[in-house]
Amino acid sequence: MPWNRPVVAALTLAAATSHALPALADGEVNIYSYRQPELIQPLLDAFTKETGIETNVLFLDKGLVERIQAEGANSPADVILTVDISRLTEAVEAGVTQPVDDAKINDHIPAQYRDPKGNWFGLTTRGRVVYASRDRVPENEITYEELSDPKWKGRICTRDGQHSYNIGLFASMIAHHGAEYTEKWLTGVKNNLTRKPDGSDRSQAKAIFSGECDIALGNSYYVGLMMTNEKEPEQKEWAGAIKVLFPNAKDRGTHVNISGVSLAKNAPNKENGIRLMEFLASPEAQKIYAEQVFEYPVAPGAEPSEIVKSFGPIKPDPLPLAEISAHRKEASELVDKVGFNDGPSE
């Protein structure tokens, strides 16, 4: 098995093997993940403790699908973990997944968060929200549409426009308003930027804290992660400087995306892969997602953490994610067309 061969540039091999029950170990499961290792480690630890199955994680910040395609039938990948509907759809379209029809998964994951053909399952949702300065932004309500209003000129920061988190939001704007409107809107947002898009969602909170910008686009769960970060306590200060605004709360609702899971097409440990998928869909894992990753669990009756509740209620945009995903290529093309990543025009 080619698991231990050298990893190409820009890919990071993260060993996430748990030895909680070495005497009862029952094989292994190999996970290819777009999700950062520290976000999924608590789940994998709990899975190994419950089943004795060891977990190996290959974290890739890009090129996951291409990696599996290149490995072909000899790919060691059993399970694919990823962070949004676009990447789940990409994996399916590339032919690197296989369908799963599993009663345990179906019982816990509502139909709107499952691929009708069983090629992927949503595990959590998160809002693409607005981080706003507590000191400099008196508004407590906002819409995505008004981000192009000149009143925000020089006050907005965000990560790369081509990042999947932003592409999902921009695709939702196309789904709601059409490409012509979205092109003009993107141009307006670009001209309101403080600087060229850069960094992570956490970087945007830091920029607000430092006074570089007043509002930013970011995922809701990062706020909880910053608030509880003991290793880098300065992140608590960044989180303390912002408030979470849920855009379009009074009309269609806030754009949400999902984290999800697929079974790899040539999974060598298929049975263990399905057991991991069942675990990730279980109430136990949904609670871990809520309490330690600060995402919204999708299982009926599962509650978000108290920290997430403190942000206020979220009204999710009901537009089907599959419909939004259909516009992701067009959204990417518009980002390039308007020169979004060039930053504000002089």
Summarize the annotated binding site for Fe cation as residue ranges. Answer: 221-222
* Phi (first) and psi of residue 227, to 5 degrees: -60, -25
What residue ranges in 93-149 does DSSP mark as E strands? Answer: 97-98, 121-133
**Residue 341 token pair:** 């990543």
Q: Which of 173, 149, 144, 188 is nearest to 330 (CA)?
A: 173
Q: How far is the C-alpha of 5 from the C-alpha of 118, rounded, in Å? A: 31
- The amino acid that residue 128 corresponds to is R
**Residue 313 token pair:** 């209620």
**Residue 15 token pair:** 């060993």
Burial 194-224 (b: 16+ CB within 10 A, else e): beebebebbbbbbbbbeeebbbbbbbbbbbb
Annotated binding site: 221-222
Contacts 24+ apart (CB under 8 A), 146-149: 147/185, 147/188, 147/189, 147/192, 147/215, 148/184, 148/185, 148/186, 148/187, 148/188, 148/189, 148/192, 149/188, 149/192
